Amino acid sequence: MRSLWRTLGGRLLRDIALVCLAVGVIGVSYGATAVTSGFAWWFPVLMGALVLAASSEFLFVGIIAAGGSPIAALLAGLLVNARHLPFGLAVPDVLGRGWRGLLGTHLMNDETVVFAMAQDGLPRKRAAYWACGLGILVCWPAGAALGALLGSVVEDTAALGLDAMFPAVILALILPAMKERPVRRTALAGAALALAVSAFLPAGLPVLVALAALPLFAAKAAEGAVR
Count Cβ atoms below 10 Å from residue 94 Cβ, excluding itself: 23
Alpha carbon distance, N-terminus to C-terminus of the chain: 43
Residues whose CB falls within 8 Å of the CB of residue 204, separated by 6 or more in sequence, listed in order? 55, 56, 58, 59, 80
Asked if the model's pLDDT at residue 79 lies above 50, the reply is: yes
pLDDT digits (tens, 9 = 90+) for 171-209: 665 666 677 777 788 888 888 888 888 888 766 567 667
* Domain residue ranges of the chain, discontinuous segments joined by +: 2-172, 180-227
What is the band of 226 on the pLDDT scale with cuts at 50, 70, 90? very low
pLDDT digits (tens, 9 = 90+) for 28-48: 888 888 888 889 989 999 999
**How far is residue 193's CA from residue 208's CA, in Å, rounded to a whole number?**
10
Residues whose CB falls within 8 Å of the CB of residue 185, separated by 6 or more in sequence, listed in order? 216, 217, 220
pLDDT of residue 169: 55
Q: Which residues of 48-81 are buried (b: 16+ CB within 10 A; e: fewer)?
A: bbeebbbbbbbbbbbbbeeeeeeeebeebbeebb
pLDDT digits (tens, 9 = 90+) for 124-149: 888 899 999 999 999 999 999 998 98
The one-letter amino acid at 175: L
**How far is residue 74's CA from residue 66's CA, in Å, rounded to a whole number?**
14
pTM: 0.70
Alpha carbon 55 to chain centroid, angstroms:
8
Q: Smallest Cα–Cα separation from 177: which of 4, 55, 15, 13?
A: 15
pLDDT of residue 47: 92
Whether 12 and 114 have beta carbons less than 8 Å apart is answered as no
Helices 10-36 and 42-50 sit at what angle, rounded to 10 degrees? 140
